[in-house]
Amino acid sequence: MFDTIFHYPRVLARHTEGPAANERARYLAHCASGGAARSTLLGLAPELLVIAQRIELDGGRSISFAEVEAAADRWVAYQRRHHRLRLASFSRERFVHTAAAWLRFLGRLQEPEEKPAAFTGLVSEFDRCLREERGLSQHTIHNRCWHVQTFLQWLSVQGSGLAELRLEQVDTFLALKRTQGWCRVSMATGVKALRSFFRYAGERGWCAPGLAVGIEGPRLFSHESLPVGPKWEEVQRLIASTDTDCHQDIRDRAILLLLAVYGLRSGEVVALTLDDVDWAQDILHVSRPKQRCKQEYPLAAEVGEVILRYLQRVRPHIRVRSLFLTLRAPFRPLVATSLHYLVSTRLKALKIICPQSGPHALRHACATHLVAEGLSLKQIGDHLGHRSTYATRTYAKVDLAGLRQVADIALGDLL
């Protein structure tokens, strides 16, 4: 394996004659079979050699995670003595991560015992209630359980339990999160999750009944702000900036068009699969998690051409069915946070200033553009996948032409 990576005899000899050469070669071959590029293997091989020089693998014994961390500390000390800390590409964290992955592949890593999260059983019961009895979406369940687990973890650190919980402790927790930067919306979301949990906990006898009623959060007013998104001309400039032969631009252009033309949410884009594009019927199938169904859209010619170009020239040919993948091996599906970074960095590079700079800003821009084109709120809501027109009403505030017509109505004798 080493002779396919290195060409210089001295470098090749250093790797073939080093400790645990067979084990290192097997892992490199495994990474190569997973799609790792030669440049990736060129960086990984020296790291494995350093790890093998500092962790004794003879005898087939298992290596504890503490031993891996101790070896990483020795590596950092060695670098400091020889004034090599400027070479931060192979840091302590990278040493531990690479060593753990290699030893795990060899079956030689003794995994550390994970401490169970506080009140794990109670959160699991709450999760089951939200899923089976309330029928909430997986995203909502995950969000509520995260907020509840965060609070219970804090409560455990305080040395308190649910049975003796007081409202003052909940207020202290919320005040702490406010000082840590939680905005009004985050505070309101957390309060809603805690109310839901303590309502259930009170029914099960885990805590004093009535706690949920006393938990107060910031008040949010319906439609208190305008939908925030870039102007449509700025969206067009954003998409035009990706009209190159760069692989990243080809992939990102397809993603931006789906966000801007169809107004998709970031989670809906990353959930698209190869099977969701019906080339024979020119139809795009979009999974709507809130409605628990799939919505069909006509596949616009320009969008279809961009997706086809991405599939033919950029997307790696692997068995994963997700439509959008990472550009570097190991190839894996994109996640929603990847799209936020994608959109925000491109908006910043073009100096497009917008209060919201993520994928949802393009969804707002799409809706605002449809309002300007004269579509009804019902049509816009159907296009955006809203469950009711209530969610679409906010875009009536950006219909300046319609609002001017209302202002110009002659009220006559009513005045």
Sorted by where each begins, the domain ranges of the chain are 2-110, 120-214, 232-365
The residues that are catalytic are 265, 290, 360, 363, 386, 395
Block residue for tokens 């309060």: 191
| 262 DSSP assignment | S
Which pLDDT tens digits describe the chain residue by residue (415 residues)?
788 888 888 888 888 888 888 988 999 888 888 777 778 888 888 889 989 988 888 777 888 888 888 888 888 888 777 665 544 456 778 888 899 998 888 888 887 665 555 577 888 999 999 988 888 878 889 999 999 999 998 988 888 888 888 999 999 999 998 888 888 888 999 999 999 999 999 999 998 888 888 888 887 766 555 556 788 899 899 999 999 999 999 999 999 999 988 888 888 899 999 999 999 999 999 887 766 678 888 888 899 999 999 999 999 888 889 999 998 877 889 988 889 889 989 999 999 887 778 888 888 888 888 877 777 667 767 677 666 655 555 555 544 444 444 334 444 444 4
CATH topology of 120-214 equal to that of 232-365? no
Greatest alpha-carbon span in the chain? 99
d(CA 8, CA 109): 33
Q: What SS3 class is residue 123?
A: helix
Residue 159, number of CB atoms within 10 A of its CB: 6
Amino acid 377: pLDDT: 65
Architecture of the domain whose range is 232-365: Orthogonal Bundle (1.10)
Q: Based on the number of CB atoms within 10 Å of its own CB, is 347 exposed (0-12), middle (13-18) or buried (19 or more)?
A: buried
- Please state the length of the chain: 415
What are 322's strand-pairing partners?
273
Instruction: State residue 400's pLDDT score.
Output: 46
Q: What values do phi and psi take at 302, rounded to 5?
A: -65, -40
| Encoded tokens for 57 | 């693998």
Q: How far apart (Å, rounded) are the C-alpha atoms in residues 125 and 95?
A: 38
**How do strand 283-288 and strand 277-278 relate by DSSP bridges?**
antiparallel
Helix residue ranges, H only, 220-300: 232-240, 247-261, 266-270
Task: Tell me the two tokens of residue 270.
Answer: 């990353």
| Strand 63-64 to 283-288 pairing | unpaired
**What class has domain 120-214?**
mainly alpha
Q: Which of 263, 266, 342, 258 is nearest to 304 (CA)?
A: 258
Which residue, among 269, 257, 285, 250, has the nearest Cα to 322 in the 3D structure? 269
Give Cα separations from 18 to 2, 74, 261, 271, 394 (angstroms). Answer: 12, 19, 56, 44, 66
pLDDT of residue 185: 84
The long-range contacts involving 338-345, CB below 8 angstroms and separated by at least 24 positions, are: 338/270, 339/255, 339/259, 339/266, 339/269, 339/270, 340/266, 342/252, 342/255, 343/256, 343/259
> Can you give the pTM of this predicted structure?
0.62
Task: Give me the pLDDT at residue 11, please.
Answer: 86
